[in-house]
Amino acid sequence: MRISSSMEITDFCLEGRLLNFVIKDGYKLKGLLLATSEGQYYIKLAKHLRVAFDLRLPHGAWLQVVGRKKYDAKKDELTLKAEWVMATSADMVLKPKPEAAKKQTILFCKKSDCMKSGGKAVCQMLEKEVSDRGLENKVNIKGTGCMKNCKAGPNLVMPDKTRYSGIQAGQVPAVIDKHLGKNVETEVPQFVKV
């Protein structure tokens, strides 16, 4: 009796331009579409790449992709899976985009004890101050559950993890100035990380 394998697995290395990202379920990165001199390829990303991949990588960027390819002779189907991806051109420096910058988050307790102690006015003042400074695209204000300091409410946590208890609406502008000032610090990568 003869046993034959219909699956052939080999290594591959491709270089080409990024056409697009392949996203499943509306948010899960699964792979890349790459245009090479030999044609267009769908390349599935290994799990460790999906987590760390920088989606700000511009379309048309030159990439080198190394991985494993599987050829199923029964189905006449070729599957490419990337284990390593690298930008191959010096023009890969990203220009900072306002929408690409990570938003900083201010947390405030929205439970009843804090709200009864002036939390609603603090929240309204936070929204006003962020808006007046034009920081809406850089700062989120998020209500949370209990921060375990009910008797000292209202409670607030700034983006740098500084906690405030017993804060009043009139103190909010000074707190915003202290922690956010006029320029919100954002992390902008100098080179693409893939």
pLDDT digits (tens, 9 = 90+) for 159-174: 888 888 888 889 989 8
The 10s digit of each residue's pLDDT in 73-119 is 888 888 999 998 888 754 444 344 444 457 888 888 888 888 888 88
Q: Which helix (H) or strand (E) holds 36?
A: strand 28-36
How many beta carbons lie within 10 A of that of residue 45, not counting itself?
23
Percent of the chain surpassing pLDDT 70? 84
Query: What three-state secondary structure class fits 110?
Result: coil
* Token couple for 132: 């007046």
How far apart are the C-alpha atoms of 79 and 91, rounded to whole Å? 30
Name the pLDDT band for 184 (thresholds 50, 70, 90).
very low
Mean pLDDT, range 34-57, rounded to an integer: 87
Query: What three-state secondary structure class fits 7?
Result: strand
The 10s digit of each residue's pLDDT in 1-27 is 344 467 788 898 889 999 999 988 878
Tell which wins on pLDDT, 129 or 26: 129
Any idea how long the chain is? 194
pLDDT at 66: 92
Put simply, whether the predicted model's pTM sits higher than 0.85 gets the answer: no
Cβ-Cβ contacts under 8 Å for 129 (sequence gap 6 or more): 172, 173, 176
Q: Which amino acid is at 1?
A: M
Strands, sheet with 163-165, edge to edge from the N-terminal-most edge strand: 139-144, 104-109, 155-157, 163-165
